[in-house]
Structure formats: structure tokens, C-alpha cells
């Protein structure tokens, strides 16, 4: 199945792995790339040394194109992006910030850049400074989807830009891929679906829980990490949202931010002063994220269903098995081709 995005990225199938912290690790990234899609490494929780090591590990596991992301709002993200450029990662995906400098430097070695966007303004701006494609994230998505659903957001942005669009949010099978192509997209990105595969490091507690959930079993709130964020509906998630960022949580954020600084190998005092200097609004946002990082890690790595919180999308209600990545990609493509044939047949009957 060839589209503009497969041609640009040099991949076989128009299917991308979303970069999910603590889930999109080298083993899963390589599995998606080896299956003909594009695996994207999540660098959010990694130090620069860990990012470089992860890139090297991916290259040992696959000779196919792969990508890595940088969420520019996060501490250490700019430094990680610079590592990706130094390592000449084939595809860099940035979000939550201005990535014009990434585009400029990646293009020098022939790399490609995808911007994750949730609205028209950011989509057009990314196109203006030469981004090769967009990952357009609808409201159904895990974590930070847009205010509009994919069904209307994707075709709307497709009509306003000339570069390829990858649809994200609400896609978990071949029917979704066929629908995305019909909406004008050139491919799909899947996070929740790939998180629930054999190669995924997501804790088994949450994989089992996903199989029990329906499309209604998520929560969308700004009271988890400070942004509009979709999480699986669990005891820990409801508690986190109900508490928001009260005094107790502010104190917890101080301790959690120390943990994050140590994890990213960043000087804590420098990080703390930098956050305060960035203004009250940004400081509050980063306090939210410090607590969110702790909760997400507890879920993904430890499987804590009482205190942990996991960012999964509404497609949890479409998942009823835990296949290998290669099985998932193969059947998604096959189902998409069959769905398109059925749709064409219906339209011409």
C-alpha cells in the first residue's frame, strides 16, 4: 500500500508507531519498522546518553527507516533533539514547540521531519518552515489530542495544507486506515493499539485491563498534566483528576521534579531556577507534568492500577487481543484493502 508518506519516509506501509513515553522503546520501535511501518522512539523520559544509546540499539535491531520524537515543552527535549540530529536519525517527530531549527538541520543530512499538530494554525506554520509531513491528532487520541475529532479535524487540515498528513487518534485497525485514506490522509499513527502487542513493554496489568475496557472508559481532562489529556479510566486516574494541583500536589511536584532531573541527568538547581524564570503559567504546567510523569511511569513499568495513570485512547474499546507487531501490521493492511474494496463496491452498486 503506497501513499505519499510511504514514499517520503521510505517505508512499505502507511502505519506509524506513536512515540509514547516508556512504551515506544527500541524493541517496539524496531518491530514496527521491521514490519514495514515506521517505529518512533519516545525520548521524553530519556537523558541524552540514554537517547543516543537507544538510537544505537534500534540500529542493531533493524536496518529499516525509523524515527524519534522530541516534545519540546519537556525539560531536556532540546538537548535530546540535538542528539537525534547528531546521530542523523532518519525521521524526527517534534511536538509542543517550534521545530524550525530541527527541520533545517535534519534536511542537511537528508532526514525527514514530521510535526505533530492539533489545529490549523500549527499545521500551516509547520508547513511554512519546511516540515515534510504532519501527524494530525484528533480528540480520540491518548494523551494530547485536539479539541476536534479526527473525523472532522483530519479532512479539514488536509484541505488547508499541501504536505502529507498522518491521522492519529481513533485508529486501531484496517477499517480505521481505510477511513483515514478516505478522509485524505496518507497514513495513520497508532499508539494505544501498538501498546497492546507482544513486543510492547507496557505492564501486563494494563494490557489485561485494556482488553476489558470499552470505548467509553477514558477520561479527558486538563487536571492530570495541565494540558487536555486523555487517560484510561481507573482508580488512579479518577483520583489524579479530582485532586488536580492542590497544595499537596505542589509539594509532591517538587520531589517528583528532583526525580525527573536525576533521570534526565539535568542539574536540579539549574532546572528549578529555569522553571521559575519561565513564568508562573509555565511553572504550573511543569509542576503538573512532574506529577504526571511519576504516575505514568508507575503504570507502564510497575503496573500499579491504584496510583498509576496510563495515557490510552478511546480505541481501547476496539482491542480484544495482544498480537505480535508483524501480525497486527499485516492484518491492518489486509483489512484496509478489503474495506476499501467493499466501500467502492457499495458506492458503485
Within-domain flag for 285: yes
The domain in which residue 237 lies consists of: 204-300
Asked if residue 94 is part of any domain, the answer here is yes
> Same structural domain for residues 69 and 152?
yes
Q: In this structure, are 214 and 224 located in the same domain?
A: yes
**Are 170 and 74 part of one and the same domain?**
yes
| pLDDT tens digits, one per residue of 26-85 | 999 999 999 999 999 999 889 999 999 999 999 999 999 999 999 988 778 999 999 999
Q: Is residue 313 part of a domain?
A: no
119 in a structural domain: yes
Residues 127 and 39 in one domain: yes
Strands 165-168 and 218-221: unpaired
156 inside domain: yes
Q: Is 224 among the domain residues?
A: yes
Number of domains the chain is built from: 2
- Choose among 273, 195, 266, 268: nearest CA to 45: 266
Question: In Å, what is the CA distance from 290 to each residue of 73, 76, 224, 239, 273?
Answer: 12, 13, 10, 16, 15
Q: Domain containing 69 — which CATH number? A: 3.20.20.70
Distance of CA 243 to the CA centre of its chain: 26
Tell me whether residue 310 is in a domain.
no
- 35: DSSP letter: T
Segment 142-149 mean pLDDT: 93
Q: What is the pLDDT of residue 207?
A: 97
Q: What is the pLDDT of residues 71-100, one digit of tens each?
A: 988 778 999 999 999 999 999 999 989 999
* Residue 129, Cβ density class (10 Å: 0-12 exposed, 13-18 middle, ≥19 buried): middle
Please tell me whether residues 113 and 260 are part of one structural domain: no
DSSP-derived secondary structure for 3-22: -HHHHHHT-SSSEEE---TT
User: What is the mean predicted confidence (pLDDT) over 230-243?
Assistant: 90
Q: What is the pLDDT of residue 347?
A: 81
pLDDT at res. 247: 54
Q: 203 and 303 in contact (C-beta within 8 Å)? A: yes
Instruction: Identify whether residues 38 and 169 lie together within a single domain.
Output: yes
Do 277 and 329 share a domain, yes or no? no
Same domain, yes or no: 129 and 44: yes
Whether residue 74 is found in the same domain as residue 178: yes
Judge whether 142 lies within some domain: yes
- Same domain as 232, residue 175: no
Task: Check whether residue 107 and residue 212 sit in a common domain.
Answer: no
User: Is the per-residue pLDDT at 316 higher than 90?
Assistant: yes
In a shared domain, residues 225 and 329: no
Amino acid at each position: 500500500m503506497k501513499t505519499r508518506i510511504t514514499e517520503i519516509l521510505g517505508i512499505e506501509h502507511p502505519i506509524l508507531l506513536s512515540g509514547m513515553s516508556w512504551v515506544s522503546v527500541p524493541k517496539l520501535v524496531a518491530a514496527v519498522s521491521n514490519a514495514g511501518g515506521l517505529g518512533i522512539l519516545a525520548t521524553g523520559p530519556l537523558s541524552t546518553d540514554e537517547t543516543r544509546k537507544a538510537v544505537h540499539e534500534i540500529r542493531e535491531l533493524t536496518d529499516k527507516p525509523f524515527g524519534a520524537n522530541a516534545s519540546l515543552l519537556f525539560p531536556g527535549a532540546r538537548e535530546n533533539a540535538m542528539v537525534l540530529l547528531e546521530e542523523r536519525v532518519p525521521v524526527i517527530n517534534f511536538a509542543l514547540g517550534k521545530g524550525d531549527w530541527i527541520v533545517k538541520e535534519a534536511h542537511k543530512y537528508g532526514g525527514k521531519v514530521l510535526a505533530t499538530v492539533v489545529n490549523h494554525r500549527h499545521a500551516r506554520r509547520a508547513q511554512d518552515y519546511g516540515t515534510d509531513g504532519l501527524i494530525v491528532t484528533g480528540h480520540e487520541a491518548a494523551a494530547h489530542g485536539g479539541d476536534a475529532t479526527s473525523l472532522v479535524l483530519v479532512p479539514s487540515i488536509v484541505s488547508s495544507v499541501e504536505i502529507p498528513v498522518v491521522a492519529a487518534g481513533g485508529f486501531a485497525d484496517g477499517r480505521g486506515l481505510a477511513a483515514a485514506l478516505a478522509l485524505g490522509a496518507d497514513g495513520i499513527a497508532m499508539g494505544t493499539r501498538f501498546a497492546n502487542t507482544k513486543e510492547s513493554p507496557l505492564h501486563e496489568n494494563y494490557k489485561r485491563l485494556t482488553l476489558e475496557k470499552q470505548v467509553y472508559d477514558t477520561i479527558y481532562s486538563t487536571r492530570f498534566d495541565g494540558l487536555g489529556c486523555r487517560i484510561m479510566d481507573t482508580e488512579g486516574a479518577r483520583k489524579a483528576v479530582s485532586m488536580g494541583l492542590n497544595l499537596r500536589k505542589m509539594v509532591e511536584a517538587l520531589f517528583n521534579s528532583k526525580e525527573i532531573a536525576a533521570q534526565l541527568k539535568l542539574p536540579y538547581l539549574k532546572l528549578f531556577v529555569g522553571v521559575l524564570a519561565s513564568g508562573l503559567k509555565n511553572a504550573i504546567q511543569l509542576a503538573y507534568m512532574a506529577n504526571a510523569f511519576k504516575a505514568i511511569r508507575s503504570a507502564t513499568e510497575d503496573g500499579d492500577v491504584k496510583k498509576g495513570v496510563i495515557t490510552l485512547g478511546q480505541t481501547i474499546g476496539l482491542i480484544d487481543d495482544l498480537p505480535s507487531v508483524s501480525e497486527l501490521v499485516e492484518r491492518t493492511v489486509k483489512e484496509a484493502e478489503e474495506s476499501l474494496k467493499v466501500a467502492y463496491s457499495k458506492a458503485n452498486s
